[in-house]
Every structure is written in C-alpha cells, then in structure tokens.
C-alpha cells in the first residue's frame, strides 16, 4: 500500500525504504522485532507495540526488516532468535517478563546466552518499597523480578517492575523489554533508541509530512509523476493513505556531508505548491490536532451536535491535549427527542424530510452553535448500520453540516464500511469540513 519513489529496484533484499543509501559512508544495520506471548496467537491482543516500535525506528533511520510474533514456548523463542539474527543486527524483544508462570523470556535468554540469574539488590529494594507504598502483599513471584541474567546490561523500568535487558554477541544486539506498552515505550525512548543510534552511527534522517484530502491516492500519484522523477536519490517520497485523507512524507538520508535539511525543505516546498488545493496540513499530526491548532490560533471555539457519530467526533477532538481551550462541548442527540428539545430541531420538518436529511443536520449545527455559544458547530446524521436502512437511504448514507454564523455548509456521504468504520469515517469527514471552512472560508459550498 505504501508506494515509495525508488528509482532503481536493484536494491539488496532489505527494507526497501532505507536500503542502498550512501553505501560505504554509513553503517547499514537492520532490525527485527520479536513479540512474545500466547495472547498474540489467539488474537486476544492487538500488537500495538510493534507498530509503535516500527515508527520510532523508522524516525531514527534504523530499517526494520521483519516482525515476528511467537508464543510463550522456550523452543519457539529460541528458534525466533536463531532465525532473526540471520536477518538483522538488532533484535528487539517484547513480552514474557511478567511475574506469572508463563512469563519465560528471562529464563530462555539466560540459557541462550549461557549465563545465570542473579539477584540484583537495587531492584530487590525497589520492589519491596513499591509494594509497601501500594499496600500490597509481596509474593515470591514478584520478588523474582529482581533476578536478572548476570551477563546483561539492565535497562531500568521507570513505569513498572520488570527490568529490560541488553545483550550483545558477535556484534549483534539483543534487547528484551516488557510487553506493557508504557513500560516498553519509556525504555525505548530513554535508553534503547539513543544507545542504538550511538552504537551503530545511524544516518541523520529528516522527515517532512503533509496531509491532503479530497483526492484519491492514484490521482495524487499521477499529478506527482514529474515531481517524483526529479527527486534526488537521497530523498524519498512515501504515500500513506488513511480513511478520508492521505499523508505524503518526504524522507532525506544524510551522510553528514550535505545539508539534508535544506534539501528536504526545498522539495517539500515544491510538494506543498503542487498540492495546495488539497492540502490539509504541513505537519504529521492527527486531523483533530490540525483542527485544534487552527481553532486555537484564530481564537475560535467549537461545538458539536452528533447523531449517527454518537460521540465519536467529540472523542476524537478531546484526544488532543489542551482541547479544552477551544472545544466547548457536544450534544449527542441520539434520540430524536433530544434533537427537538435540546437542539431545537423542528419536529414537523423531521417528520416530513426524515432525520437523515440535509435540513436536519443544518438545524442541529445551528442549534448546537446557539446553545453552546461557539463560533463553529458541526453536526452529523446518518445510517451507520447494520440496521436502519431504507431503499432511498442505504446503510452508510450520512449528512454532515457546519455552522459558522454566516452560512450553513453541508456534505452528503455514502460510506461502504462496517458500523465502526462508518462512524469513524463520518467523524473524520466532519473534522475535515471544519478545517476546510477555516482554511478557505470563501470557497466552501454545498456538495452532494
């Protein structure tokens, strides 16, 4: 799905995005991620750790070659270690460090590196203090977390009890971290990534990302054909599509001898110019954060009236830290009586035109803006499925509106996903309409 502008496909087998840059100048290292846990093999847990690690490695210019998930079995873990060390220089392991009997990563690593477990007195004291402060009984299984392999470097766990471990052998690095996301992320950020970039002299990486909406990936790619052709070898373009919008990322790899930052900036400006009509933002932040920045910069406030999106628009907006500065609130008017009573939507109009209609979202937006006394108000009404459809209004039929005191702009959509993604897509489109209205107040008009 990610299209990469690579001039020649004659690259060594490797992560294609980073492969083959400045051969000879920089050390080229590869990484594998091994996630350990039965919960990954029965679908209990979504592997968010690997995605987070992949993103951070990519930002630091460390190419990820493979991601592997195995169960809590010694042989499975050992086989994965043997295999991935053939592919990669750095093996990052998560999971299997907890206090229960199925957490066996530490023992497996001890055996793998021919070392033994010893009690670390500092860790033991920390555990005793922690359990005392929480007023919990300290079980034998908890105290075992103070035991660490003798030959490893300990990575402190500021967020929990299981320490991380850094092993080296034959020039290869093996890092074992807990599977708890916050603990793993803290270790990666404060210790593992800085140590890796230092240890392997990774390249300087410059990323610049912009967000577009309103044009499909293949049409954007067609427009950028010439742009891609003139890109220097050291700068790559990636297409990162999502529901309702498309991110484009320029990446520059520097050997230290050229001013990569300026080079990427130059091409990024060209990209911004070519995509000016569909540009949503020139940085890599969420759509909600884009809307939030615009609202905050212009000292504008926002209210939301949600029917079909059921709170999702408000939820997305309030995920952004500091959103209370511009987001006043939402009326989730799921029941029609709430639309009539709280938002002041006209009952007879709804009876005549239906609740999923242009006039309904107009009145909802106007009502929310009036009630919450804001500059802007968004509204949604639609049929998210699986039930509720009629012949005229199939599942996915959705109306969105924005009120700003001057005009009431509406959009109609026909989503084709399941309930969850219909709700999400409608919410994203509502926030995109707000961004468009703030960016180009003169150009917005009703589209169906």
C-beta of 334: minimal distance to a second copy in Å? 5
In the complex with a second copy, the residue whose CB is nearer, 103 or 375, is: 103
Could you tell me which residues are beta bridge partners of residue 147?
Answer: 119
In the complex with a second copy, the residue whose CB is nearer, 298 or 373, is: 373
Q: Is 141 helix (H, G, I), strand (E, B) or coil?
A: helix
Would you count residue 240 as binding a second copy (CB under 8 A)? yes
Residues of this chain, 299-328, that bind a second copy according to CB under 8 A: 304, 306, 310-315, 317-319, 321-324, 327-328
Among 26, 29, 64, 235, binds a second copy (CB under 8 A): 64
Would you count residue 179 as binding a second copy (CB under 8 A)? yes
In the complex with a second copy, the residue whose CB is nearer, 15 or 278, is: 15
Contact 324, 334 (CB under 8 A): no
Distance from CA of residue 308 to its chain's centroid? 24
Work out the angle at residue 149's Cα, subtended by the Cα atoms of residues 146 and 152, and round it to the nearest 5 degrees.
110
Would you count residue 177 as binding a second copy (CB under 8 A)? no
In the complex with a second copy, the residue whose CB is nearer, 315 or 444, is: 315
Among 29, 57, 108, 210, binds a second copy (CB under 8 A): 57
Residues of this chain, 327-386, that bind a second copy according to CB under 8 A: 327-335, 337-338, 341-342, 371-373, 385-386
Among 8, 10, 101, 406, binds a second copy (CB under 8 A): 101
In the complex with a second copy, the residue whose CB is nearer, 38 or 168, is: 38
C-beta of 307: minimal distance to a second copy in Å? 9
- What is the spatial distance between Cα 410 and Cα 7, in angstroms, rounded to a whole number? 43
Residues of this chain, 242-301, that bind a second copy according to CB under 8 A: none
In the complex with a second copy, the residue whose CB is nearer, 236 or 267, is: 236
Q: What string of DSSP letters covers 320-389?
A: STTGGGTEEEEEE--SHHHHHHTT---HHHHHHH-SSSHHHHHHHHHHHHHHHT-SEEEEEEE--SSS--
Would you count residue 138 as binding a second copy (CB under 8 A)? no
- What is the spatial distance between Cα 390 and Cα 233, in angstroms, rounded to a whole number? 54
In the complex with a second copy, the residue whose CB is nearer, 228 or 266, is: 228
Contact 446, 411 (CB under 8 A): yes
Among 402, 423, 432, 438, binds a second copy (CB under 8 A): 423
In the complex with a second copy, the residue whose CB is nearer, 9 or 392, is: 9
Which tokens hold the place of 444? 């917005």
Residue 431, phi then psi, degrees to nearest 5: -70, -35
Q: What string of DSSP letters covers 266-328?
A: HHHHHHHHHTGGGEEESSS--HHHHHHHHHHHTT--EEEEESTTTTHHHHHHHTSTTGGGTEE
In the complex with a second copy, the residue whose CB is nearer, 416 or 440, is: 416
The stretch near a second copy (CB under 8 A) out of 20-28, 98-106, 227-235, 270-278 is 98-106
For residue 386, cis peptide bond before it (omega within 30 degrees of 0): yes
C-beta of 54: minimal distance to a second copy in Å? 3
Residues of this chain, 11-50, that bind a second copy according to CB under 8 A: 13-17, 37-48, 50
Would you count residue 118 as binding a second copy (CB under 8 A)? no
Query: Which residues, 6 or more positions from 47, have their beta carbon under 8 angstroms from its beta carbon?
Result: 35, 40, 67, 69
Place of tokens 């043997």: 82
């Amino acid at each position: 799905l990610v299209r990469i502008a690579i001039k020649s496909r004659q690259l060594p087998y490797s992560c294609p995005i980073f492969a083959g840059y400045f051969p000879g100048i920089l050390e080229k290292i590869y990484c594998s991620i091994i996630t350990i846990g039965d919960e990954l093999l029965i679908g209990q847990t979504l592997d968010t750790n690997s995605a987070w690690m992949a993103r951070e490695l990519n930002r630091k210019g460390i190419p990820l070659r493979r991601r592997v998930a195995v169960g809590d079995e010694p042989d499975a873990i050992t086989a994965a270690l043997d295999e991935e060390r053939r592919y990669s220089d750095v093996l990052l392991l998560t999971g299997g460090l907890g206090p229960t009997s199925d957490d066996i990563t530490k023992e497996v690593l001890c055996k793998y590196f021919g070392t033994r477990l010893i009690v670390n007195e500092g860790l033991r004291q920390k555990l005793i203090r922690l359990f005392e402060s929480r007023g919990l009984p300290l079980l034998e299984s908890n105290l075992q977390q103070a035991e660490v392999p003798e030959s490893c470097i300990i990575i402190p766990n500021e967020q929990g009890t299981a320490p991380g471990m850094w092993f080296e052998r034959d020039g290869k690095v093996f890092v074992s971290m807990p599977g708890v996301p916050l603990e793993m992320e803290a270790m990666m950020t404060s210790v593992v990534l800085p140590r890796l970039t230092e240890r392997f002299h990774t390249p300087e990486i410059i990323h610049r990302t912009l967000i577009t909406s309103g044009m499909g990936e293949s049409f954007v790619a067609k427009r950028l054909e010439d742009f891609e052709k003139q890109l220097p070898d050291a700068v790559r373009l990636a297409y990162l599509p999502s529901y309702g919008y498309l991110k484009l990322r320029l990446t520059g790899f520097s050997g230290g001898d050229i001013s990569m930052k300026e080079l990427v900036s130059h091409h990024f400006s060209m990209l911004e110019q070519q995509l000016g009509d569909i540009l949503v933002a020139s940085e890599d932040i969420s759509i909600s954060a884009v809307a939030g920045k615009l609202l905050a910069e212009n000292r504008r406030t926002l209210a939301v009236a949600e029917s079909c999106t059921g709170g999702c628009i408000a939820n997305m907006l309030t995920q952004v830290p500091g959103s209370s500065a511009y987001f006043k609130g939402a009326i989730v008017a799921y029941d029609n009586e709430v639309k009539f009573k709280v938002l002041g939507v006209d009952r007879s109009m709804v009876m005549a035109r239906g609740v999923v209609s242009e006039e309904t979202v107009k009145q909802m937006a106007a009502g929310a803006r009036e009630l919450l006394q804001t500059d802007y108000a968004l509204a949604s009404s639609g049929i998210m499925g699986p039930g509720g459809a009629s012949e005229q209004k199939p599942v996915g039929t959705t109306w969105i509106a924005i009120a700003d005191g001057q005009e009431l702009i509406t959009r109609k959509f026909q989503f084709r996903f399941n309930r969850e993604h219909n709700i999400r897509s409608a919410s994203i489109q509502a926030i995109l309409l707000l961004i468009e209205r703030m960016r180009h107040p003169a150009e917005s008009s009703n589209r169906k």
